[in-house]
Structure 1
């Protein structure tokens, strides 16, 4: 198991976390050069630069928190593991693609063509939603060492039901946070058109919630009893 890999510093969860953090931060400028400023048609897009700075801060703070409270989840989330449901590989690809698509769409809309100009306070709402979404995801990751990037029953890791933290309120808080994050990305960049790919990503996550929940009820010991205690998947009192 990942928590037993402590023979050398490079094998520890903390060491892996530092390498991943450096790699992610190093890749971000390349991504934004290609998918944000190239569609924007300029390097002097204030909303774009502000978004990058905020996102870097979110990634750094979130990584440091997880390194402290649950480094095992960082190791678990570094790759797709054996046993992943085939349908989830498709849903994951759709989610990642549509979420990332919000960035160039926002750049084309807000910076280059001005299809639907919005005031700065809309961006403020977007950042609030973005921070809330990332906060919910980090909270869920912090209490759930089984929070992997794909859906599978983790028999190799002693998979058990997690019912603390946000999981005491709803059964799939990570997806709620991810939906908030997708919407927050679009609005913080000042683009209503970017809500289209963000909305598609949200629909993918709703489908994934339903299919994952059914998988857990069918295959994970104790999950049906947990679902009886915590009745709602995403929205308390609704669904």
Structure 2
């Protein structure tokens, strides 16, 4: 399983490098190198931690983003999300690397790197609290799927999505693209749509989720939404 983790991390890093540097038309882009390094190192660290503490969850997270057991609407959503992600990476590469439409201050790039770090580091706490945090929307009945309500789930219903907000905002800042940052509200709206649809399915199919949602009022950010 560790070999599969390493292969997937290398593959994802190579794909993102191809999109970013291909759109930029150059390898002389420090922000992109820092982004890829942060992604690869922290992603591998979390994967190795899961291999030791929760190999069943790691196995789930290494599965394809489109699966047969997955809700049909989520299969469509994930396929669309993949296309949007590719377009976003290309736009950032064209902006920050090739045409230099944007001029993001260095201190904001540092904040962007910090946001990515906090997102990926925070995922570790999500995985510790929820062994069923699969990348797709489905009921994992074969693993005895139950409601998670401890750790960050005691404060918001979707702590991984909340952490993703830091990643989405941090990525264009680190890479130096205001145009990439301009797309972030649309990406957040997409995550919000998925969260609402996911909750409907969980309330219908997962015992105890409706009561949990009634206790924990907020989805992403306490006192906001």
- TM-score with structure 1 setting the length: 0.86
Task: Choose which of 8, 11, 14 in structure 2 pairs with 1:30.
Answer: 14
Instruction: Give, in angstroms, the shift of residue 161 of structure 1.
Output: 0.5
In the alignment, is residue 68 of structure 1 matched against residue 49 of structure 2?
Answer: no
SS of the equivalent of 1:194 reads helix
RMSD over aligned Cα, in angstroms? 1.8
Instruction: Give, in angstroms, the shift of residue 211 of structure 1.
Output: 0.8
Check whether the contact 1:103–1:185 (CA below 8 A) recurs between aligned residues: no
User: How many matched pairs?
Assistant: 223
Paired residue for 2:210?
224
Check whether the contact 2:103–2:176 (CA below 8 A) recurs between aligned residues: yes
- Cα distance change on mapping 1:29 and 1:235 into 2, 3 Å: closer
Distance in 1 separating the partners of 2:16 and 2:218:
37
Q: Please identify the structure whose Cα radius of gyration is greater.
A: 1
* Residues 109-124 of structure 1: pairs in structure 2 closer than 5 A: 109-124=95-110
Distance in 1 separating the partners of 2:204 and 2:17:
45
Instruction: Give, in angstroms, the shift of residue 234 of structure 1.
Output: 1.3
Distance in 2 separating the partners of 1:21 and 1:153:
23
Structure 1 regions of 5+ residues with no counterpart? 1-15
Distance in 1 separating the partners of 2:139 and 2:13:
35
CA deviation vs aligned residue, 1:153-173 (integer Å, no higher than 9, x gap)? 222221111111111111111
Structure 2 regions of 5+ residues with no counterpart? none
- TM-score with structure 2 setting the length: 0.90
Task: Choose which of 29, 34, 52 in structure 1 pairs with 2:36.
Answer: 52
Paired residue for 1:205?
191
Runs (4+) off by over 6 Å:
none
Task: Choose which of 118, 127, 138 in structure 2 pairs with 1:152.
Answer: 138
